[in-house]
Amino acid sequence: MSSIELVPGLAGIPAAESSVSFIDGQAGILEYRGYPIEALSEHSTYEEVAWLLLYGELPSASELAAFNKDLEELRVLPDALVAMIQAFPKTGHPMQALQASLAGLGMVSPKVNIKDADSRDQAARRVIAATPVLVAAFERVRAGKEYVAPKAGLRTAENFLWCLDGEAPDEVAAKTLDCALILHAEHTMNASTFACRVVGSTENDPYTSCSGAVGALFGPLHGGANERVLNQLGTIGDISNVEAWFEGKTERKEKVMGFGHRVYKTKDPRAKNLQILATEMFGKLGNTPKYDVALKLEQVVTEKLGSRGIYPNVDFFSGLVYEKLGLDTDVFTPIFAMARVSGYCSHWCEQMLDNKLFRPAQIYKGEREREYVSIDKR
């Protein structure tokens, strides 16, 4: 019998050594390359954070300017890829479209030489640059609108809003989205980053590796939760319904979306920052009844489940911010993905530096050495 016990979901089992980000789940700490997330979300930009995650240091002004220029060029999609996205069925979910589009990006990009640092770096930059444009492109397709190409001089968040609406982005909306992208950019060995590393470990390029990661992120237990949180708040409707709604969930042993975390056993620091973003927006653009329902739900859930370490996670307030920006609910997870590709690519690059194919063991529970019986005797 195997001496090694199965650990469901590999909970707490290290899959790699990494220096990209750090979490203290008890204290509610998140750092990107050692910098606290609170400082980065207050002072940095998504592009600066992408550089930090990729290269381990904050960029100089000239490095950042050159990086922005490179991202600007790399976010232009080849016509063949635009045509592919325009041919997607409008009934598809934007995350399905993004997973296919990332594989498609690999189809129209130079072949990656996994052994060459520059080739790896250029491909990683192309994924980071192009992903927001891929998300916006399918949104235009679904709405029956013409493709809007990225605009020179715009950074990631403002360019996404431009490609989405074809209008000059609102400054408050662009700044709010930029901060949300920072908060979603990286998070150690979460399920989708692990998926990226597994696919990459077979010596795959970042297009295929990030496409696999997007598949993992789509699930409701992971990135798909933010979309479901908004639907959940809509179903509850009013703060007077929260207690009864929660009791029903508990009776049916159903999980409350936006709460709980494999690592955090206190309120997710990103949830705190997104809550600040949400209240700042409500101050400028007006409140939403869903926020009052969210606050009541947080109070009820943490009263009942806080002792078991179940608190709001990153997905609990993010949807309120995106809804206030006028974004469709089912594009919330693609927005999570277009931020997280910086983390995926940073982990992919790290994996390539000292790669070992992921091939875990199993504990076999089946029968052995059975005799074949012909069909006429079964």
Closest CB 221 distance from ligand SDX, rounded Å = 4
Size of interface with ligand SDX, in residues (CB under 6 A): 20
Task: Provide the Cα torsion 372, 374, 377, 378; round to 10°.
Answer: 70
- Judge contact between 335 and 233, C-beta under 8 A: no
- Judge contact between 99 and 215, C-beta under 8 A: yes
Closest CB 312 distance from ligand SDX, rounded Å = 9
- DSSP assignment of 220-242: TTTTTHHHHHHHHHHHH-SGGGH
Radius of gyration of the chain (CA): 22
Q: Please pick, from the candidates 4, 7, 9, 376, the single residue that binds ligand SDX as defined by CB under 6 A.
A: 9
Catalytic site residue from 205, 268, 315, 347: 315
Q: Please pick, from the candidates 258, 269, 319, 334, the single residue that binds ligand SDX as defined by CB under 6 A.
A: 258
| Catalytic residue check, 70 | no
Q: How far apart are the first and last CA of the chain?
A: 31
Binders in 162-221 for ligand SDX, by CB under 6 A: 187, 190, 221
Q: How many CB atoms lie within 10 A of CB 47?
A: 22
| Catalytic residue check, 315 | yes
Under the binding rule (CB under 6 A), the answer on residue 315 touching ligand SDX is yes
> Strands (DSSP E) along 35-130, which ranges?
35-36
Sheet order of strands, 29-32 included? 21-24, 29-32, 35-36
Nearer to ligand SDX, 190 or 351 (CB): 190
Structure token digits, residue 257: 């979306």
Nearer to ligand SDX, 275 or 313 (CB): 313
Nearer to ligand SDX, 126 or 187 (CB): 187
Q: Please pick, from the candidates 310, 320, 345, 349, the single residue that binds ligand SDX as defined by CB under 6 A.
A: 310
Nearer to ligand SDX, 73 or 243 (CB): 243
- Active site residue ranges: 261, 315
List of residues contacting ligand SDX (CB under 6 A): 9, 187, 190, 221-223, 225, 255-262, 308, 310, 313-315
